A and B are shown apart, each in its own frame.
Chain A
Amino acid sequence: MRRSRAETDASHVKLSRRAALLGGVQLLFMGGLAARMQYLQVDQADQFRLLAEENRINIRLIPPVRGEIFDRNGMKLAQNVPSYRIVMVREDAGNVEEVIGRLADLIDLTPEQIENALAEPKRSERFLPVTIAEDVSWEVVSAVSVNAPALPGITPEVGSTRVYPRGSDFAHVVGRVGSVSEKDLEALEDPDAVLRIPRFQIGKINVEAREEALLRGVAGTKQVEVNATGRVMRELERREGTAGADIQLTVDAKLQNYIQARLSGESAAVVVMDCEKGDILANSSAPSYDPNLFIGGILSKDYDPLLVDKYRPLVNKTVQGAYPPGSTFKMMTAMAAIEAGIIGPDETVYCPGHLEVGGRRFHCWKRGGHGWVDLENSLKQSCDVYYYDLALKVGIEKISAMSNRFGLGVRHDLALSSVNSGLTPTKEWKLANRGASWVIGDTVNASIGQGFMLASPLQLAVMTARLATGRDVRPRLVKTVNGIEQPIEGNGPLDMNENNLRKMRKSMYAVVNDRRGTAYRSRIIADDMRMAGKTGTSQVRSVVVNNADVPWEQRDHALFVGYAPYDNPRYACAVLVEHGGGGSAAAAPIARDALLQALYNGEPPLEAYPAADRDRIEIQQRALRDVKPQARVKKGKDQA
């Protein structure tokens, strides 16, 4: 059926009209699409661009490199060493069982490690690395690297871990780090985000903890692009953090090592301090422990012995311990009295061997008495009655005030944990803390460093340095931070009568160098190195018995404070031997050895010792010469 020409033309005109109309509608719609596109892409571009960035960018933290710790001569006390672990990415491993099987043939894996390696990947995303073995040796890393083609998805990773190369020598100074615990986080008001990194290490005690802010540094950030499932595609931007500051301590690793070795077998504490600047050269507490054992979690087989040891290796006795200072306190009683003008240094007091006070008889250690004694003689022979007498005349308040000026009863805030402030009792203190009023007997006890009087070895060292110099010497432990010398605080004159101080020093000289002095056997012979000091024996129980007859825990503490050289004080030293017996026998020799070691910056010549002792000393020196600090051998690259 063919149409007429006219009909065809008419229908074509109508068709063309409608085609143009529909075409127009189509173009109009396209205009609408274009407008929508403009709205989304031009008008709202910024907002959507932001949303796209949020979609894809994750910010990850780069843990900062922890600052290292050095001794005064630049010897490393705490360092970072690379540590290796073996990780597996399941996605790349393919057949996990087979790959783990091959790995187990190659390196030693415990059954738990194998079990974890097989179980853990099932829990996490396929592309996230799973740790199979941690803290592995360089040999293991090499073995894995060499066999890489057979071990798809398995790679060694380098991390960093803290190592204390001086081991047990510095546990009580440098301290240690450990993984951040929930408790650590709770204690902080606004914890640094870096602490949320799993197994991030922070300082737990001592310098590591107290200088955490300096050592930690500031975390860097890296922006990584992630896809919709969270897989990291590439790194976009990296802002390096700031490494932690390196800290140089005032301690001398060699001296510290000598003293720790010298103290072996004892429960003791020694502080050696520079008289001029207050630098702590040695801060030894024995026994000690190896802080390396704590890195990455200590095993109970290592930890339990430390806890039950009656010598308390975990306690830093130099600053945490507070002990009755005993006769080493006598200088304070005397200074209080002579500075108050109650007695002249040369005036004498009669010692009949005891003193009646308030109906109670206080004995001198020497039952027979010392007769008429002045300051020098009383100190030299450690006569008690002289000080009882002085204390009764000057009163406890002035004694406490004087000892505060010498650094007792004052907290010296070194960068160590649990620094004890000791105790210099007053009448008010007793009323407030013991609920009883002060009795005259308390003053008598306090005068010879017994009763309520408590001091730490650090405080005794500070006291000695101040006596030796007449200046307000303050202890300093941090020497430089990132190479910048830390300021020396205080160190102004103590405003004491120089004549009185000179008398006091002369008396302390006599204690060591006078034939009848209590520390005569521990004297130094070298003329320009002469030592001055004072022995102390502080009772841990009230009844006087022979130390040899009682168990260790009940024996007296042995103390000694001293400095050298007498005429030009360089080093002050305080020694405490817990339950060591008499100060002259147990503590004074240690102080002499430590001071000589410091004065000669190493092993002193035998000529510095009295001729009679030299054979014995030589044997002792030889024994101590090669004592290395206990430090767990790390499975690092160095030992490979």
Chain B
Amino acid sequence: MSYLEYTVKSVPTGLRKVLYLNWPLVLLLTAVACTGFLMLYSVAGGQYNPWAEPQIKRFGLGLALMIMIAMVPIWIWRNLAGLAFGVSVMLLVGVEFFGSVGMGAQRWIDLGVIRLQPSELTKITMVMFLAAYYDWLPTKKVSRPFWVLLPVLFILVPTMLVLKQPDLGTAILLLAAGGGLMFLAGVHWAYFASVIAAGIGLVAAVFKSRGTDWQMLENYQFRRIDTFLDPASDPLNTGYHIAQSKIALGSGGWTGRGFMQGTQSRLNFLPEKHTDFIFTTLAEEFGFIGGISLLVLYGLIIVFCVASAIMNKDRFASLLTLGIALNFFLFFAVNMSMVMGLAPVVGVPLPLVSYGGSAMLVLMLAFGLVQSAHVHRPR
């Protein structure tokens, strides 16, 4: 009810704000998260532990966090954007020195209370900072070279730090999200055309560098790309994941094999079945219909975010909402492409579905910002 009430002139205050939340979005997020609980329950062989129960608790926590953030006026968040970005870049640097190694990469930093993945946080704070930057920058200066180069720098610093961890997946996501935000802010087409041209050149250079002293990517990263290009080349190691993942999806058929009947995931043919490859379990057990349903839920989240952004006359709020939506989209698009054999295996989880505390909390935090923008939009 409150969602369609543009006409209400009075700006909500106090606890009444809760009524003005973007409730359809809350419901959509909850629906996706519930899909995740179901799948985590299934891959654990019909057990709440070890995955479903902590995930449910975390989602509850995330939901509370989201609503709390939504209650804080959006301009306060705008004013905090610079600080947040600075802190997360510092944390990225800190990970270099104090981070713990997980899955062969330095990604975690233990803050005592929570094990934080600064790269996750950076995705959001970078978007916040860029949105604030473009809110501050007069529109006519947006396409001027100096004012284009500056945000490029803001994007490249955390990207390089993440790449060094090394976490190729997140680096690409940061790059794409940053670029997307610049596009939304109205940077001229020509910049993007030249960057894409340069990108193609860079990719060529990266491949050329292979086997030389100045090799730009780690060997395992090259192998992942090789496997992606030709999964059959290595069916028992890296290619195994993609091959088994495709088998799981394919064997689901139209309606799937039924809840908890997926043989591929239950019998451990799938790697990382509770994290990066959880979509395969869903597609195996609920089939094409299940997979499409999740995709539709994700699509609706994007649609509601974009609608909320377009309706919002506040430039920072708009850009922030769109940037977060883009981030969210990149998450599931890369993950799904990966499990369907359309992209290399880069270790990107399925948002809100994959098991994992850090990613889940950061996402709910981000949607708290989206809600705050929605609640505090100018009327």
| Stretch in A39-47, A177-185, A385-393 touching the partner | A39-47
Q: By the criterion CB–CB under 8 Å, are A37 and B283 in contact?
A: yes
Chain A residues, Cβ within 8 Å of B252: 41, 45
Q: By the criterion CB–CB under 8 Å, are B267 and A227 in contact?
A: yes
Q: Does B329 contact A (CB under 8 A)?
A: yes
Q: By the criterion CB–CB under 8 Å, are B322 and A19 in contact?
A: yes
Q: Does B161 contact A (CB under 8 A)?
A: no
What separation, in Å, do the CA atoms of A229 and B244 have in the docked complex?
14
Q: By the criterion CB–CB under 8 Å, are B249 and A40 in contact?
A: yes
Q: By the criterion CB–CB under 8 Å, are A56 and B299 in contact?
A: no
Q: Does A3 contact B (CB under 8 A)?
A: yes
Query: How distant is A569 from chain B, measured CB to nearest CB, in Å?
Result: 71
Q: Does A8 contact B (CB under 8 A)?
A: yes
Q: By the criterion CB–CB under 8 Å, are B250 and A51 in contact?
A: yes
What separation, in Å, do the CA atoms of A229 and B267 have in the docked complex?
9
Q: By the criterion CB–CB under 8 Å, are B283 and A41 in contact?
A: yes
Q: Does B18 contact A (CB under 8 A)?
A: no
What separation, in Å, do the CA atoms of A37 and B250 have in the docked complex?
8
Chain A residues, Cβ within 8 Å of B283: 37, 41
Q: Does B291 contact A (CB under 8 A)?
A: yes
Encoded as 1 (CB less than 8 Å from any B CB) or 0, chain A from 8 to 49 comes to 101110111011101100110110011011101110110111
B315's closest neighbor in chain A, by CB? A11
Q: By the criterion CB–CB under 8 Å, are B267 and A48 in contact?
A: no
Query: How distant is B230 from chain A, measured CB to nearest CB, in Å?
Result: 18
Q: Does A7 contact B (CB under 8 A)?
A: yes
A40 and B267 in contact (CB under 8 A), knowing A8-B313, A20-B306, A22-B184? no
Q: By the criterion CB–CB under 8 Å, are A18 and B263 in contact?
A: no
Interface centre among B247, B303, B342 (most CB of A within 10 A): B247
A9's closest neighbor in chain B, by CB? B313
Encoded as 1 (CB less than 8 Å from any A CB) or 0, chain B from 290 to 301 comes to 011001001100
Q: Does A1 contact B (CB under 8 A)?
A: yes
Q: By the criterion CB–CB under 8 Å, are B295 and A34 in contact?
A: yes
Q: By the criterion CB–CB under 8 Å, are A52 and B306 in contact?
A: no
Contact of A37 among B291, B318, B325, B326 (CB under 8 A): B291
B255's closest neighbor in chain A, by CB? A41
Query: How distant is A115 from chain B, measured CB to nearest CB, in Å?
Result: 34
Q: By the criterion CB–CB under 8 Å, are A42 and B254 in contact?
A: yes
Q: By the criterion CB–CB under 8 Å, are B288 and A12 in contact?
A: no
Query: How distant is A260 from chain B, measured CB to nearest CB, in Å?
Result: 58
Interface size, A (range): 35 or more
In A45-65, the 8 Å CB interface with B consists of 45, 47-49, 51-53, 55-56
In B315-346, the 8 Å CB interface with A consists of 315, 318-319, 322, 325-326, 329, 333, 336-337, 340, 342
Chain B residues, Cβ within 8 Å of A27: 299, 302-303
Chain A residues, Cβ within 8 Å of B288: 37-38, 41-42
Q: Does B356 contact A (CB under 8 A)?
A: no
In B109-144, the 8 Å CB interface with A consists of 136, 138-139
Q: By the criterion CB–CB under 8 Å, are A15 and B319 in contact?
A: yes
What separation, in Å, do the CA atoms of A12 and B250 have in the docked complex?
44
Q: By the criterion CB–CB under 8 Å, are B267 and A15 in contact?
A: no
Q: By the criterion CB–CB under 8 Å, are A15 and B253 in contact?
A: no
Q: By the criterion CB–CB under 8 Å, are B185 and A48 in contact?
A: no
Q: By the criterion CB–CB under 8 Å, are A56 and B302 in contact?
A: no
Q: Does A612 contact B (CB under 8 A)?
A: no
Interface centre among B139, B183, B254 (most CB of A within 10 A): B139
Encoded as 1 (CB less than 8 Å from any B CB) or 0, chain A from 207 to 235 comes to 00000000000000000011111000100
Chain B residues, Cβ within 8 Å of A11: 139, 186, 315
Query: How distant is A57 from chain B, measured CB to nearest CB, in Å?
Result: 9
A23 and B303 in contact (CB under 8 A), knowing A7-B139, A37-B288? yes
Chain B residues, Cβ within 8 Å of A18: 183-184, 186
Q: Does B180 contact A (CB under 8 A)?
A: yes
A42's closest neighbor in chain B, by CB? B288
Q: By the criterion CB–CB under 8 Å, are A29 and B253 in contact?
A: no
In A236-295, the 8 Å CB interface with B consists of none
What separation, in Å, do the CA atoms of A15 and B137 have in the docked complex?
14
Chain A residues, Cβ within 8 Å of B184: 15, 18-19, 22
B248's closest neighbor in chain A, by CB? A52
Q: By the criterion CB–CB under 8 Å, are A228 and B267 in contact?
A: yes
What separation, in Å, do the CA atoms of A451 and B252 have in the docked complex?
83
What separation, in Å, do the CA atoms of A15 and B180 have in the docked complex?
12
Q: By the criterion CB–CB under 8 Å, are A41 and B291 in contact?
A: yes
What separation, in Å, do the CA atoms of A142 and B253 have in the docked complex?
51
Q: By the criterion CB–CB under 8 Å, are B269 and A228 in contact?
A: yes
Query: How distant is A59 from chain B, measured CB to nearest CB, in Å?
Result: 16
Q: By the criterion CB–CB under 8 Å, are A15 and B269 in contact?
A: no
What separation, in Å, do the CA atoms of A558 and B6 have in the docked complex?
125
Encoded as 1 (CB less than 8 Å from any A CB) or 0, chain B from 249 to 274 comes to 11111100000000110111100000
B337's closest neighbor in chain A, by CB? A33
Interchain Cβ contacts under 8 Å between A and B, 12 examples = A3-B138, A3-B139, A14-B186, A16-B310, A19-B318, A34-B295, A37-B292, A41-B291, A48-B246, A52-B263, A53-B251, A55-B267
